[in-house]
Amino acid sequence: MKAAVLHEVNKPLVIEDVSLPNPGPREVLIRTSVAGLCHSDLHFMEGLYPHPLPAVLGHESAGIVEKVGSDVNYVKPGDHVVTCLSVFCGTCDNCTMGRTVLCTDTTVKMLPIRKDMPLELAALIGCGVITGYGAVVNTAKVGPGENVVVIGCGGVGMAAINGAQIAGAGRIIAVDTNPAKLQLATKLGATDIVDPRNGDVVQQVRELTGGGVHHSFEVLGRKETAEQAFAMLAPGGTATIVGMIPFGQKIELHGFDFLRERKIQGSSMGSNHFRVDMPRLVEFYMRGRLHLEDWISAKLKLSEINEGFAEMKAGKTVRSVIMFDA
């Protein structure tokens, strides 16, 4: 089968033939139909996160089960599935305490979904949607009427905005340097938009909200935007860092701000419980509350994958998907 392989950082992916063995007792072979391009893949391609090479990237996908190992009873051949990086063993301390997303088990898991869910939209749920929506609903637990800022409106940020609307947030302020993204954010639920090119982001948010927000979400992975997320909080507010800040980089905060009970926290894959969250997200889409079609910017062939990442790097796309059967 064909795969886009990363041999060296900062070099194009190479499309080549790879082979996979038959699935082991607890493994499943999936015919991948669609894979979304996530900025996390780009961070690895740019060497901002260490990873052994060569590697096949692409963790946001949907497809059809082809074969299952002898011990597998949760899915069967022919099932439509979404993949998820948030594997859990079910027996360690974190799992038994309900924090399955922090389990250190390392094999990709999948979840069967209803067959009338379009696979190119289902793929997005596997990472971008669950990460953005879950950061708002599960990690930060945004309450009705609370004010929210989302910094970085790519695939993950749009899901945070849509999630904030589902959660009943009050003001939802979208921050991005691309006017087209800000326009789409408004369609997905943003009540206000802020373009960093029009002046200091923290000051703009403070003016809009009369002093700061209850919740900010950094969905970009940069030191300066993580610092902005904390600086724009009202007393008692919480900044949630979703973006992957380059490995080894530190962020700086004013110690005084902690006296007013401001908080900062990380969010991994939206603190999901994927067997509960993913069927809910599928239902939200089916009922018209999650506007997944709106964030597919391009449907690409596998051979076009490097162009897809170049467009992402230029900040042009919300989500591009690779259609394997195209």
**Contact between 40 and Zn ion (CB under 5 A)?**
yes
- Residues 84/132/301/18 CA torsion (nearest 10 deg): -30
Strand boundaries in the chain, DSSP class E = 2-6, 14-17, 28-36, 55-56, 60-68, 80-84, 109-112, 148-151, 172-175, 192-194, 213-218, 233-241, 263-266, 296-300, 319-323
Nearest CB to ligand PAD, comparing residues 244 and 323: 244
Backbone angles phi, psi at 311, to 5 degrees: -65, -40
Nearest CB to ligand PAD, comparing residues 157 and 163: 157
| CB 72 to ligand PAD: min, Å | 26
Q: Which of residues 142-171 bind Zn ion (CB under 5 A)?
A: none
Structure tokens at 56: 């096949």
| CB 267 to ligand PAD: min, Å | 6
Angstrom distances, CA of residue 273 to CA of 114, 131, 223, 240, 318: 18, 11, 29, 18, 25
**Contact between 271 and Zn ion (CB under 5 A)?**
no
| CB 43 to Zn ion: min, Å | 10
Region binding Zn ion by CB under 5 A among candidate stretches 120-128, 226-234, 254-262, 288-296: 120-128
Q: Given the structure tokens 């973006």, which residue do they identify?
A: 243
Helix (H) or strand (E) segment spanning residue 267? none
Considering CB distances under 5 to 8 angstroms, the limit depending on partner class, which of ligand PAD, Zn ion, none binds residue 139? Answer: none
Nearest CB to Zn ion, comparing residues 121 and 193: 121
Nearest CB to Zn ion, comparing residues 58 and 237: 58
| CB 3 to ligand PAD: min, Å | 20
**Contact between 320 and Zn ion (CB under 5 A)?**
no
- What is the rounded CA–CA span in Å between residue 195 and residue 101? 33
**Contact between 127 and Zn ion (CB under 5 A)?**
yes
| CB 324 to ligand PAD: min, Å | 20
Considering CB distances under 5 to 8 angstroms, the limit depending on partner class, which of Zn ion, ligand PAD, none binds residue 269? Answer: ligand PAD
CB 158 within 8 A of CB 318: yes
- Which residue is at the shortest CB distance from Zn ion? 38
| CB 62 to ligand PAD: min, Å | 16
Nearest CB to ligand PAD, comparing residues 2 and 313: 313
- Interface contacts to ligand PAD, rule CB under 6 A: 38-40, 43, 127-128, 131, 151-157, 175-178, 181, 196, 219-221, 225, 242-244, 267-269, 312, 315
**Angle in degrees, CA 45, 29, 319, rounded to 5:** 40
Angstrom distances, CA of residue 290 to CA of 187, 204, 286: 11, 28, 8
Phi/psi-derived region of residue 317, left when phi > 0, alpha when psi is between -120 and 50, beta in every other case: beta
Residue 173 CB burial class (10 angstroms; 0-12, 13-18, ≥19): buried
- What is the rounded CA–CA span in Å between residue 281 and residue 230? 29
Closest C-alpha among 70, 102, 80 to residue 89 = 102
Nearest CB to ligand PAD, comparing residues 65 and 140: 140
Considering CB distances under 5 to 8 angstroms, the limit depending on partner class, which of ligand PAD, Zn ion, none binds residue 296? Answer: none
Nearest CB to ligand PAD, comparing residues 68 and 231: 231
- Which residue is at the shortest CB distance from ligand PAD? 154
Which of 3, 4, 34, 38 lies at the binding interface for Zn ion (CB under 5 A)? Answer: 38
- What is the rounded CA–CA span in Å between residue 185 and residue 176? 9
Contact positions toward Zn ion, by CB under 5 A?
A: 38, 40, 127
